Amino acid sequence: MSIFKINGGVQLRGEVKISGAKNEALKLIAFAVLLKKPVCIRNIPQIVDIERQLEIFKCLGGKVKNIESGIELDARSIEKFDISKSTANKLRASLVYLGPLLSRFSQAVILQPGGCQIGERPIETHIDAFRQLGATITENKEKIILKLDEPKHNKVILCEQSVTATENIAMYAAAQEKEIIIENCATEPEISALLNEMVKSGACISGIGTRTLKILGSKDLNLDSADVIVDRIEAATFAIAFAATGGEGTVTPFPSENLQSFVDVLKKCNVKIEISGNSAKVLKSEDLKPFSISTLPYPGFPTDLQSPMSLLASRAKGVSHIEETMYENRLGYLKELQKMGLNVEFHGLHRADVAGPVHLRSTTIHSLDLRSGITLLIAGLMADGETTIEDAQIIDRGYENIEDKLARLGAKIKRIS
Ligand code: EPZ
């Protein structure tokens, strides 16, 4: 357990370099299970969730080597297909081992989902998709066992546009020499990046970036190296941090092509942002305007950016409307911000109105999930006096060297383990 002590009232200034995307890297590690030769993954973020995903890779029998430019994964020695005995219970994203393991071993064993702070997070979408392919599924209270020698059907219609369900089925299909069609796919940029690496490794995929994928896989997938794309959620979060603290700075790289809905809302909120090439400069922004957001699957407003947006709402003159359509408990962080003086009116589990402007007061608060954790950390930078963030290790799950990055921008932040 670690805590952050933050001396607030700081306006962040300077340039911040954004790390590789957690939500692509986690899946590339699972995809490596299917590769016939070692692969080097570059620009992989050094964060807790990645360490846990690599632990599972090693638990299955895979080899992990740190090399100059990243990590080398060698799946040739993998013989196990049961991730329930590993540290999988600490990482929901371990679920994405299901598709590769089932494709390689015709069977896979995963843990029953544990849910998390932001919601139930059932995995029925995944199980239903594999059932559509003909998998037999047996389960007990701890585990789910899937068996499928080869696909009995070639079309899957996802029951919701789930990011990891799309990726699980796509990775299963990548090593099957029978075309599989997946409909109602999610289209997040991290999915397209993963699919492009699958094409580089030998799979034939059409429809990348659309809601229908056609995949003809190969039993001989090979990939020398993969470069993880930049983390658009981290990039956007730092843009918010500059604006919310009344500072100004440059975010590089800033994948604006993957953040359209976010940039549109920033501009409506009167944040001054100048995008040139793959950089974004956030200028000192006064007179912020209230906004309305409703989270949706890509290209809608990203649920992972919903919580930091509440900080801009705290500085806007008027009432902002936040609707979290994706998770049933991803507004919980607002109760922590209420302790700092945020003026919130809840309308059920999915909607809240935030009235500004208010000056947040420092206090002690708890991070719930990694996205609310970073939000509370930035709130501490905004509030005068010392704010203590408990459960700071949750933030380490998704943000690489967060206190160094913020300190370089002028933040006074101390980690106490
Ligand atoms: C992935 O989770 C991400 N995790 C999440 O990021 C992200 O919040 C989520 O996608 C949505 O973008 C990884 O990639 C490892 P889902 P996943 O199945 O695949 C509901 C983070 O902070 N939903 O896409 O588990 C669904 O029921 C993490 O980095 C709809 O309501 O998420 C679930 O409650 C947290 N309608 C939630 O959204 C839809 O059409 C997320 O679903 C699709 C989904």
| Per-residue pLDDT reduced to its tens digit, 333-368 | 999 999 999 999 999 999 999 999 999 999 999 888
Q: What angle do CA 70, 76, 80 make, to 5 degrees?
A: 110
Query: pLDDT for 268-309, tens place per residue?
Result: 999 999 999 999 999 999 999 999 999 999 999 999 999 999
Query: What is the distance between the alpha carbons of residues 203 and 311, in angstroms, rounded to a whole number?
Result: 43
Nearest CA to ligand 1 atom 38: 326
Higher pLDDT, 52 or 69: 52
Query: pLDDT for 140-194, tens place per residue?
Result: 988 999 999 999 999 999 999 999 999 999 999 999 999 999 999 999 999 999 9
CA atoms within 13 A on the CB side of 134: 12
Query: pLDDT for 236-250, tens place per residue?
Result: 999 999 999 999 999
Query: What is the distance between the alpha carbons of residues 128 and 149, in angstroms, rounded to a whole number?
Result: 17
DSSP SS3 for 185:
coil
The response to whether residue 23 sits with its C-beta less than 6 Å from ligand 1 reads: yes
Which atom, in ligand 1's list, is nearest to the CA of 369?
22
Q: How sure is the predictor about 115, in pLDDT bands with cuts at 50, 70 and 90?
A: low
Mean pLDDT of 55-77: 96
CA of 327 to the centre of ligand 1 (A): 8
Question: Exposed, middle or buried, 355 (CB in 10 Å: 0-12/13-18/19+)?
Answer: middle
The response to whether residue 45 sits with its C-beta less than 6 Å from ligand 1 reads: no
The response to whether residue 119 sits with its C-beta less than 6 Å from ligand 1 reads: yes
CA of 371 to the centre of ligand 1 (A): 13
The response to whether residue 327 sits with its C-beta less than 6 Å from ligand 1 reads: yes
DSSP SS3 for 142:
coil
CA of 399 to the centre of ligand 1 (A): 18
Which atom, in ligand 1's list, is nearest to the CA of 325?
31
CA of 93 to the centre of ligand 1 (A): 10
The response to whether residue 202 sits with its C-beta less than 6 Å from ligand 1 reads: no
Residue 185 a catalytic site member: no
pLDDT of residue 49: 95
Tokens 């890779």 map to which residue?
Answer: 57
DSSP SS3 for 392:
coil
**Pocket residue to mutate for ligand 1, from 28, 127, 160, most atoms within 8 A of Cβ:** 160
The response to whether residue 398 sits with its C-beta less than 6 Å from ligand 1 reads: yes
| Residues linked to residue 3 through DSSP beta bridges, in sequence order | 416
Q: Are 49 and 398 in contact (CB under 8 A)?
A: yes
Nearest CA to ligand 1 atom 6: 304
Q: Given a cut of 70, is residue 102 above it in pLDDT? A: yes
CATH class held by domain 22-227:
alpha beta
Q: Are 405 and 154 in contact (CB under 8 A)?
A: no
CATH 3.65.10.10 in the chain, residues?
3-19+230-416, 22-227
Check 59, 116, 159, 185 and give the catalytic one: 116
The response to whether residue 258 sits with its C-beta less than 6 Å from ligand 1 reads: no
Alpha helices in 201-253 (DSSP H): 232-244
CATH number of 3-19+230-416: 3.65.10.10
Q: How does the average pLDDT of the chain come out, rounded?
A: 96
CA of 22 to the centre of ligand 1 (A): 14
Tokens representing 380 are 């501490």
